[in-house]
A and B are shown apart, each in its own frame.
Chain A
């Protein structure tokens, strides 16, 4: 009797371990796995399994194992492959982890396969989806992924003169007498507002301008009021606005009210708050080659390239775009983060989605870039 119970426990534990190793399937829910070892990986006898094994290794950061599983015809060397997956230069990707993935085959023959995989990254600014097409080849009995070339932008050594321009705040040292220390808050104005009903709820969007000669930290609030005058909900623009507006700068804003039907809303109260903040006019980021196109998934997107015209690295870029109809009304505001760092004088592509219902109406657009630099935070 003394021996039977330990034997049952050991056998039961061993059985559970084997069961856990064999159960693959959906890779979601493994957030935070950064170490450990793959005790058992099924042989990649088909392209789906090969891609699955590879992405599990990427998820667990088993770089040796993952790189060994790639085809020798891959153009990426090991360091590039790792940087492609982990990011560099303090980019958003370097603070992200692969939460899950959804692969689907595009084209499969006996020796070749093309797979499309949606990579679900968990990031500090929320989940980000990255869609990639990966080519796989059969080498003997094993399928291997051909990892595309990834080149980390090489920045040549150069000196970039900067006419440093920034605003500092000085708190007056005069006595506390009324009126002796007042500096007015920046003058900002909402120049357009549009409320639309969507399947997810009500969205209030528009644009705000800093009309003053000093920088402003801006936040837009909206309150939905029903027919009886009662408040239904109130929200702020949160990160869907370029908060720091330099003089004469215009930013889109968007405020989401999930699960609120616009038909029940009688009135929308808008409120813009502006505060005086220290700010810098650098870096300047150009938005090049903007055009509305269709992406690989058939979605309508506004895409282009962000060009860092300054001499400092921009770690995280946030693109906010407003879309106008032919009368100049803002019909949609969309945003997205770029998960690669913007090195000095280099560019990175971006794309923000436009809903199908809106894309037909869009005649023009305006893009602003919000940027975060670790060196200045």
Chain B
């Protein structure tokens, strides 16, 4: 906007004279043709400036100046300057066309079960020319696990952005997160994983190599199996010596062989969770 008057002044200074009047188009949609009515007669020069666009061509005063859709694909403020005996200018706004794509980001990609406000999603509609659609379109968000729906909400976009926050579900597994707008639909997956282990319990028995110790199936407090690979640390204290094994859970159970001969006190921990204590006497 600040450049329009100086541009006019420069053009007039160069001897280009002004037409009587031009009128800016009222509503222009990106990619659609528009026209600028003019008055007067004779030849003039049109200068068109907009986001990523600049154009100069000869026009006839008194006729409508036709602006092809190809010149108006980028949404934003445009300026038209028509110069004959004098220069006249007009500005108009090109708004985005109807949404043709939806950019959707769901976060995080993994989330523990039963956590409040743990899942968030942001959807941003764009038209086919990648202009941000600022009109208040309503985006529908839906969270579902398998065939059951967990969460559903319609959110009007504000300044081109629609978003939601939701709690994670109770069961581990893949959560489908969908954002839809008219016939557009974007799908993301959030992996719901078990929370911290709950009631970590171990059993043990002596064998030829020492003590074979194992956990009972490790679940979180909601009953979801803790993911395989989660480390359970077994600690055995016997005769003033300590033995430790970091064993991964495999098929819900972690097991370790500990070489301890005397009276052994064995405990287990996974992260910040402690299990029961086990005392095994001498064989």
> Contacts A184-B109, A246-B231; is A179 near B242 (CB within 8 Å)?
no
Query: Are A284 and B240 in contact, CB atoms less than 8 angstroms apart?
Result: no
Whether a CB of chain B sits under 8 angstroms from the CB of A178 is yes
> Contacts A165-B250, A182-B105, A184-B110; is A215 near B229 (CB within 8 Å)?
yes
Whether a CB of chain B sits under 8 angstroms from the CB of A116 is no
Residues of A within 8 A of B233 (CB): 250
**Could you mark each residue 96-115 of chain B with 1 if its beta carbon is under 8 Å from any beta carbon of chain A, else 0?**
00000001111111100000
Whether a CB of chain B sits under 8 angstroms from the CB of A291 is yes
Closest Cβ–Cβ distance, residue B268 to chain A (whole Å): 12
Select which of A184, A209, A309 is within 8 A of B108 by beta carbon: A184
> Contacts A165-B250, A211-B271, A248-B271; is A290 near B244 (CB within 8 Å)?
yes
**Could you mark each residue 151-191 of chain A with 1 if its beta carbon is under 8 Å from any beta carbon of chain B, else 0?**
00000000000010101000000000111101110000000
Closest Cβ–Cβ distance, residue B103 to chain A (whole Å): 6
Query: Are A182 and B109 in contact, CB atoms less than 8 angstroms apart?
Result: yes
Select which of A213, A288, A305 is within 8 A of B193 by beta carbon: A213
> A49 CA to B210 CA in the complex, in Å?
46
Query: Are B109 and A366 in contact, CB atoms less than 8 angstroms apart?
Result: no
> A163 CA to B104 CA in the complex, in Å?
38
Whether a CB of chain A sits under 8 angstroms from the CB of B256 is yes
Residues of B within 8 A of A215 (CB): 229
Report, as a range, how many residues of chain A touch the other chain: 35 or more
> A110 CA to B265 CA in the complex, in Å?
51
**Could you mark each residue 46-63 of chain B with 1 if its beta carbon is under 8 Å from any beta carbon of chain A, else 0?**
000000000000000000
Whether a CB of chain A sits under 8 angstroms from the CB of B228 is yes
Within 8 A of B (CB), among A11-48: none
> A247 CA to B271 CA in the complex, in Å?
8
> A44 CA to B108 CA in the complex, in Å?
72
Query: Are A178 and B257 in contact, CB atoms less than 8 angstroms apart?
Result: no
Report, as a range, how many residues of chain B touch the other chain: 35 or more
Query: Are B107 and A289 in contact, CB atoms less than 8 angstroms apart?
Result: no
> A288 CA to B250 CA in the complex, in Å?
22
> Contacts A163-B250, A247-B231; is A179 near B243 (CB within 8 Å)?
no
> Contacts A184-B108, A213-B193; is A167 near B244 (CB within 8 Å)?
no
* B interface, over-half SS: strand
> A290 CA to B241 CA in the complex, in Å?
5
Residues of B within 8 A of A184 (CB): 107-110
Query: Are A246 and B230 in contact, CB atoms less than 8 angstroms apart?
Result: yes
> Contacts A182-B105, A184-B109, A184-B110; is A165 near B246 (CB within 8 Å)?
no
> A180 CA to B101 CA in the complex, in Å?
13
Residues of A within 8 A of B240 (CB): 291
Query: Are A248 and B270 in contact, CB atoms less than 8 angstroms apart?
Result: yes
| Residue from B108, B122, B243 having most chain A Cβ neighbours under 10 A | B243
**Could you mark each residue 210-235 of chain B with 1 if its beta carbon is under 8 Å from any beta carbon of chain A, else 0?**
00000000000000000111111100
Whether a CB of chain B sits under 8 angstroms from the CB of A358 is no
Residues of A within 8 A of B230 (CB): 213, 246-248
Query: Are A289 and B241 in contact, CB atoms less than 8 angstroms apart?
Result: yes
Query: Are A307 and B229 in contact, CB atoms less than 8 angstroms apart?
Result: no
Select which of A177, A246, A286 is within 8 A of B245 by beta carbon: A286
Whether a CB of chain B sits under 8 angstroms from the CB of A260 is no
Whether a CB of chain A sits under 8 angstroms from the CB of B202 is no
Whether a CB of chain A sits under 8 angstroms from the CB of B258 is yes
Smallest Cβ-Cβ distance to A293: which chain B residue: B241
Query: Are A309 and B110 in contact, CB atoms less than 8 angstroms apart?
Result: no
**Could you mark each residue 301-317 of chain A with 1 if its beta carbon is under 8 Å from any beta carbon of chain B, else 0?**
00011010100000000
Closest Cβ–Cβ distance, residue A319 to chain B (whole Å): 12
Query: Are B257 and A286 in contact, CB atoms less than 8 angstroms apart?
Result: yes
> Contacts A167-B229, A307-B259, A309-B256; is A366 near B108 (CB within 8 Å)?
no
Residues of A within 8 A of B248 (CB): 165, 246, 281, 284
Closest Cβ–Cβ distance, residue A170 to chain B (whole Å): 13
Q: List 25 A-B contacts (CB under 8 A).
A: A165-B228, A165-B229, A167-B229, A179-B106, A179-B122, A180-B188, A182-B109, A214-B110, A246-B230, A246-B246, A247-B227, A247-B229, A248-B232, A250-B233, A284-B248, A286-B243, A286-B245, A286-B258, A286-B259, A288-B259, A289-B241, A289-B242, A307-B259, A309-B245, A365-B242
Q: Which are the 7 A-B pairs with shortest beta-carbon distances?
A: A179-B105, A281-B248, A248-B271, A286-B245, A247-B230, A249-B231, A288-B243
Given A211-B271, A246-B230, A309-B256, 14 new contacts (CB under 8 A): A179-B188, A183-B109, A212-B110, A213-B193, A250-B233, A284-B247, A287-B244, A288-B258, A289-B242, A290-B241, A290-B244, A291-B241, A365-B242, A368-B246
